[in-house]
Amino acid sequence: MNDIVILRKTGTIATLGLAGQDPKTSAPLATVYLLKDGWYMKLTHRHDRFAWSGPFDAPEDAIERYTPADATGPLLRLAG
Q: Which residue blocks in 1-80 are alpha helix, DSSP H?
A: 59-65
Predicted pLDDT of residue 1? 46
Tens-digit pLDDT string for the chain (80 aa): 459 999 999 999 999 999 998 888 889 999 999 999 999 999 998 888 888 999 999 999 999 988 776 555 555 555 55
Predicted pLDDT of residue 24? 86
**pTM for this predicted structure:** 0.81
Structural domain of 27: 4-69
The count of domains in the chain is 1
Count the neighbouring beta carbons within 10 Å of the beta carbon of residue 14. Answer: 23
Residue 24 lies inside a defined structural domain of this protein: yes
Residue 56 lies inside a defined structural domain of this protein: yes
Predicted pLDDT of residue 71? 56
